[in-house]
């Protein structure tokens, strides 16, 4: 399993929470389906409020799928903003 390769890093939970970073740049390198499957198996063990386990996962492996998903999400957001009588960003149309 992937977690087996991680060495203890000696940080407290507070250190981890305060020092975490959101990654906005990614390598143009694919991740194997096996690695994705292992990560998803590990994530389903994460705690959730009232054991509701509300998560849903979508793994995209084809190059065009990410853009199609982004476009669909932008269209949905624009629709919801219009329904709430809020201005939409021109990028969302």
Q: What is the number of structural domains in the chain?
A: 1
Identify the domain containing residue 39 by its residue range. Answer: 2-92
* Token couple for 47: 């705690």
Q: pTM for this structure?
A: 0.52
Going by pLDDT thresholds of 50, 70 and 90, the confidence category of residue 3 is very low
Cβ(74)–Cβ(37) below 8 Å? no
pLDDT tens column, 36-87: 999 998 888 888 888 888 888 889 998 899 899 999 999 999 999 988 888 7
Place of tokens 């998803």: 40
The Cα 13–Cα 11 span in angstroms is 7
CB 36 within 8 A of CB 59: yes
Residue 2: what pLDDT? Answer: 47
């Amino acid at each position: 399993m992937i977690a087996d390769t991680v060495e203890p890093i000696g940080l407290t939970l507070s250190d981890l929470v305060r020092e975490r970073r959101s990654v906005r740049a990614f390598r143009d390198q694919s991740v194997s389906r096996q690695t994705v499957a292992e990560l998803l198996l590990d994530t389903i063990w994460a705690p959730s409020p009232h054991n509701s386990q509300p998560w849903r996962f979508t793994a995209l492996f084809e190059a065009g799928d990410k853009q199609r998903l982004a476009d669909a999400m932008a269209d949905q957001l624009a629709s919801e903003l219009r329904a709430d009588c809020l201005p939409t960003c021109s990028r969302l149309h």
